[in-house]
Amino acid sequence: MQSYNPEQALWETRREFGEHGGVTPSIERSSTFTVMDPAIMPEIFEGLRGPEKGGCFLYSRHFNPTVDVLARYMAAIEGTEAAVCTASGMAAIACTLLQICEGGDHIVSSDTVYGGTHAFLSELLPEMNITTSFVEPTDPAAFAAAVQPNTRVIYTETVGNPTLKVADIPRLVELARRKGLLLVVDNTFSPMMISPARLGADVVVYSMTKFINGASDLIAGAICTRKEFVYQLMDLHRGRVMLLGPTMDPRIAYDLIQRLPHLALRMRGHSARALAIAERLYALGVPVTYPGLPSHPQYGLITTIMNAGYGYGGVLTIDCGTREKAEKLMSILQNEERFGLIAVSLGYFDTLMSCSSSSTSSEIAPEAQHKMGLSPGLVRISVGYTGSPEVRLEQIERSVKAVGLVKN
């Protein structure tokens, strides 16, 4: 499979300089924009003029020049025609699905999705008469079997949260094309590493809160897709981003613009540390899951679909069996070893640890958690790149031994 080079694509896209020749872009903090001739205003409303048609901006809930720069950079990274930035990852997911689906429509989704997404699909959308069938993400035949005459969307995460199951994107693309459906992929866990749109996905959604930002200091999302879908999302009459209004602030866009150039370095750093820790834990006989271990069920698949040079990502899990043991492990790792922080989220430069079942996946009912293979003792670790790698290995080894996860 042909590997995409997101770093090169980002470098090749038109670079934005500041108003006075600054090496950083200017922040356009205006909510509204002046037109030189009153006749231009109606033309903007008629869609005859816009950011790409005469450089006309209207109002910052529609398009904003600084947010547009970030959108252009995200489209380059993803290899899509265009992108829209949103105030959060959930806004990107919700607006995308609400744009595609109407009352009476149906979605086939992986059962291994972020807790908020699961709640949106299983609890909120049914109130609008949009229903979802949840299936095992690693089984393309299960997706095919769940398609109904009213199905509009296939939804999956590239690397599922938190069980790290890897979706077979090329086969889901093939299924979506054969059935005339749209494939929407949440690529939050694997930016740069995997390029779902290059593999044929129709829409790639992101929580930019995580790896893309990398500093755990803001909430943001993106929708990377074809130009036509971007214009639908921003349509003045029916656009879900335009009318529901999860607008990204230009100051947030600026922060993200300044973090994209080192995203590739950070992904490599996360991946290298996570692989070393996963290999050490595996050698000790600890129940560790990491897509870069040959023992991972989709190791062969991910190796064929990923872009060269970014590794297997920054997230691994340890199954401690019970919630008590999981809490003991995290407590030792944070309070005795100072290995990481007990906090939800991921993609920070420091290590973040949480027990998914009772935190970020607690929206998912216990039976559904069991079905998707989510153990109550599963500790999700987003591996940071601070501190000495050797000392980190010693810290985690002492901790897993202290809670009895090493059998000898």
Ligand X SMILES: *Cc1c(COP(=O)(O)O)cnc(C)c1O
Alpha carbons 207 and 249: distance in angstroms, whole number: 15
Alpha carbons 12 and 366: distance in angstroms, whole number: 47
Does residue 361 touch ligand X according to CB under 6 A? no
Region 236-295 residues binding ligand X, contact defined as CB under 6 A: none
Q: Is 388 exposed, middle or buried (0-12, 13-18, 19+ CB in 10 A)?
A: exposed
Does residue 376 touch ligand X according to CB under 6 A? no
Using Cβ positions, the residue closest to ligand X within the complex turns out to be 89
Does residue 114 touch ligand X according to CB under 6 A? yes
The whole-angstrom distance between residue 241's C-alpha and the CA centroid of its chain comes to 18
Smallest distance from ligand X to CB 13, Å: 24
Interface with ligand X (CB under 6 A), residue from 6, 65, 89, 313: 89
Smallest distance from ligand X to CB 86, Å: 9
Alpha carbons 375 and 357: distance in angstroms, whole number: 7
9 vs 219 by CB, closer to ligand X: 219
| Among 88-96, 226-234, 242-250, 302-310, the segment contacting ligand X (CB under 6 A) | 88-96
Residue 178's identity, in one-letter code, is R
Nearest to 263 by CA among 6, 4, 2: 6
CB contact set of 153 (below 8 Å; sequence gap of 6+): 97, 100, 101, 105, 107, 108, 181, 182, 183, 184
Smallest distance from ligand X to CB 187, Å: 8
Alpha carbons 209 and 63: distance in angstroms, whole number: 21
Judge contact between 178 and 332, C-beta under 8 A. Answer: no
44 vs 316 by CB, closer to ligand X: 316
Does residue 186 touch ligand X according to CB under 6 A? yes
Site string (192-231) toward ligand X, x via CB under 6 A = ---------------x-xx--------x-x----------
Does residue 347 touch ligand X according to CB under 6 A? no
Alpha carbons 210 and 220: distance in angstroms, whole number: 9
Instruction: Compute φ and ψ for 50, nearest 5 degrees.
Output: -175, -170
Interface with ligand X (CB under 6 A), residue from 28, 157, 168, 249: 157
247 vs 395 by CB, closer to ligand X: 247
Residues near ligand X (CB under 6 A): 88-90, 114, 116-117, 157, 161, 186, 188, 207, 209-210, 219, 221
